[in-house]
Amino acid sequence: MKNNNKIIDNDARQRALDPSTSFIVQAPAGSGKTELLIQRYLALLARVQKPEEVLAITFTNKAAGEMRARVLKALDAATGEQPAKDPDAHTWTLAKAVLTQAEKNNWALADHPARIRIQTIDALCSALTRQMPLLSRFGAQPTIADDIDPLYQQAARRTLAQLESGESWSDAIAFLLNHLDNDLVRVESLLVSMLKSRDQWLRHVADRENPRLERANLELAMQRAITDTLRAALASMPTELKTKIFSSLQYASQNLVDADSTSPIKICAELTELPGDTLPELDYWRGIAELLLTGKGEWRSPKGITKKQGFPAPSSSKNKDEKARLTQGKENMKTLLGLLQEHETLRQLLIDVRFLPPATYDDQQWQVIAALVELLPLAAAQLKLVFTETGSVDYTEVSQAALRALGSDQNPTDLALALDYRISHILIDEFQDTSLSQYELLQRLTAGWQADDGRTLFVVGDPMQSIYRFREAEVGLYLRARHEGIGSVLLEPLTLSVNFRSQQGIVDWVNRVFANVLPSEENISLGAVTYSPSHAWHGTEQAQAITVHPLFNHTSENGYHHSKIEEAGKILQIIKAAKEKSPDHKIAILVRSRSALVYILPQLRKAGLHFLALDIEHLGERQGIDPRLAPPR
């Protein structure tokens, strides 16, 4: 059933089409963001002298192809009659204006559709490096390697082979090997992981005179991270529970002092109130985390509190008053733990507290860092040599080359100045997938822009989807852009909330569940994103839109995963029941990874259920030859 009321976020959708303003739009799944992007793109095309002035950036070839096809389709449709209803009617009006502008300026889009600039960010980076091969330090254009790990490994091995070269870095290699018990495999693995993320550190270690690498400055950065986390933890602690938390903390810590325990909770016996957010109070917060969380970071269960946490069993005392005190203390803690179950943000921050670094380095730690600062530029240089020899690179190398081709904010290249002249508007899809290098690229592309000069930036994304961490994406960049802008370009925030895809029962369930899963407060440095609820455009189609069938993972002594077999069997039961109820309906199975299908597909095949799984099931995973499918002995 379709909702015939006015679209709740219609004002935001109309505002987003203002061609004179830059925006950052939060657009959850099903909110029609692609249509909005196309409308914005058309609105901008109708105002420029050349179509190349408008650049739309996506993150996948599929998305770029889809957006291009829909723009061209809209332009083709604009040669006919206007549709009766929105959003098609509005898109038609915008496309009609583009055709008028195209005819006026002789764009000949029908003959030259490539003038519609919609491309992936990787394609943009490659194009920039081709235009400035000398500055980008690429000769012939390399290819993106399908399997890049062997190249990282080769560079790491060449770096370690410099151990006896007699160069200045030989001592650094020797120190790191000694520090890791001469475990070459481990050192190589660590170097590989660092090379994968070199866009995050290379800019710092490549400049040996960089004052940010001085010990005092690095320690100051750690101290800020500590106080930011403590401040967030204190702010997330529910006011109505603070007294209960402090009371149980006092009770447990004093019992641990009396028992001469070594528990980290014991230090909290010194407190007269809950700790604040200063560095000296970090150990108190670690005590709170130990009191409230299990070793796996879950809230303790009422049955999981023992004398180890400062809650001796009442039966351990024969004194009536003492027994009553122990009973009351344990009951208070059980009540507290029950109330804490709903406070997910606090739990996550207490986990962060456990893993906070020390506020300062000791001398040995600083020696390790100094050795890394010496060694990492060498590893990066070895990787460049491997790239040159193989003619293959990774995405990070292409991004870094594009940044070099554009120069710096203070010293832009001729290419940067030319692009600054030619590009008037930039649109970016899936902005939550932006990596640090790509974010810097946007800063360089817009470095010469001034307020009210007619050039705009339009970014669309859903930070709630950042959980996938696509290719080193950092959701903190999305939050920073929303609050601070990108470079000199300030962005007006807009939020879309109407879901046109799912029925109300599904949307209501997602709103209810994910409001408790995601943090209650934003935090840029931690990449914490709050949940933004959606409103369903379609009514409820059935009373119970979502049913959860929980299964808990466990492994037998011989390593056989019973839960995987049980899960596959349960899926088969659900499919059979669904097909009996609605024989003609299509059924989809979504899994975390392809490996999960190893247990599911044989069950479907055995039951005679036909399925489509293109590029999913390999020959080696067929039931007859896959040893993982053998029953336990």
What pLDDT, in 10s, does the model give residues 571-581? 888 888 888 88
What b/e sequence results for 593-632 when a residue is b if at least 16 CB atoms lie within 10 Å of its CB, and e otherwise? eeebbbbbbbbbeeeeeeeeeeeebeeebeeeeeeeeeee
Domain ranges of the chain: 18-124+396-498, 149-212+363-392, 239-342, 562-629
Most confident of 414-428, 442-456, 484-498: 484-498
Q: How would residue 105 be classed by pLDDT, with cut points 50, 70 and 90? A: very high
User: Topology of domain 18-124+396-498, per CATH?
Assistant: Rossmann fold (3.40.50)
Q: Name the least confident of 270-279, 320-329, 510-519.
A: 510-519
Compare 622 and 178 and report the one with higher pLDDT.
178
Q: What percent of the chain has pLDDT over 90?
A: 31
Residue 472 confidence (pLDDT): 45
Residue 494: pLDDT above 50? yes
Query: What digits encode the pLDDT tens for the residues 187-234?
Result: 899 999 999 888 888 877 776 666 667 888 888 988 998 998 999 899
Checking if the pLDDT of 560 tops 50, the result is no
Q: Is the pLDDT of residue 420 over 70?
A: no
Overall average pLDDT of the 156-171 stretch: 85
Q: Is the pLDDT of residue 633 over 50?
A: no
Give me the amino acid identity at 403.
L
Q: Are 102 and 79 in contact (CB under 8 A)?
A: no
- Please report the DSSP string for 549-560 in residue order: ------B-TTS-
Which range, of 115-129, 141-155, 508-522, 576-590, averages the lowest pLDDT? Answer: 508-522
* Verdict on whether the full-model pTM lies above 0.85: no
Strand partners, 392: 143
d(CA 503, CA 480): 33
Mean pLDDT of 41-58: 93
* Bigger pLDDT: 27 vs 513: 27
Among the listed residues 129, 563, 198, 118, the one whose alpha carbon sits nearest the alpha carbon of residue 380: 198
Is the model's pLDDT at 114 over the cut of 50? Answer: yes
Q: Supply the pLDDT for residue 446.
A: 86
Residue 556: the pLDDT is 47
288-297 tens-digit pLDDT: 999 999 988 9
Q: What is the pLDDT of residues 231-281, one digit of tens each?
A: 989 988 989 999 999 999 999 999 999 999 999 999 999 999 999 999 999
**Percentage of the chain modeled with pLDDT above 70:** 85
Q: Please answer whether residues 494 and 12 qualify as being in contact, where contact means their C-beta atoms are separated by less than 8 angstroms.
A: yes
- Average pLDDT over all residues of the chain: 83
> Does residue 157 carry a pLDDT above 60?
yes
